[in-house]
Amino acid sequence: MKSTGIVRKLDELGRITLPIEIRRNFDIKEKDALEIYVDNEQIILKKYQPADIFTGNMDDLIDYYGKKVSKQSIVEMAKIAGLNVD
């Protein structure tokens, strides 16, 4: 892990501000969603990117009742269901 040397304090509501340099490097814009992960004693922020709920694939996504599903997963499920798809 690479240290940036940047230290920020939490405000009274538990918020921090990400420095503009980091936001630019990771193409994080106002209103972008970030995922929060915990690994032992580390808090990790990652720019959220929707992915297939079954495989994690991020290509050819379709929104189905608020969930992301890839076309590949849909074809595989159709085959499992006995439908003839090519």
Per DSSP, the three-state class of 22 is helix
Q: Per-residue pLDDT tens for 5-23? A: 899 999 999 999 999 999 9
Is the confidence at residue 39, as pLDDT, over 80? yes
What DSSP element (H or E) covers 62?
strand 61-64
Q: What is the pLDDT of residue 24?
A: 94
Bridge partners of 37? 44
Instruction: Compute the distance between CA of residue 76 and CA of residue 34 in angstroms, rounded to an integer.
Output: 30
Domain 1-47 = CATH 2.10.260.10:
yes
Q: What is the pLDDT of residue 85?
A: 81
Q: What is the pLDDT of residue 49?
A: 84
Instruction: Compute the distance between CA of residue 34 and CA of residue 47 in angstroms, rounded to an integer.
Output: 4
Q: Of 27-31, 46-50, 82-86, where does the model show the most confidence?
A: 27-31
Is the confidence at residue 30, as pLDDT, over 90? yes
Domain ranges of the chain: 1-47, 49-86
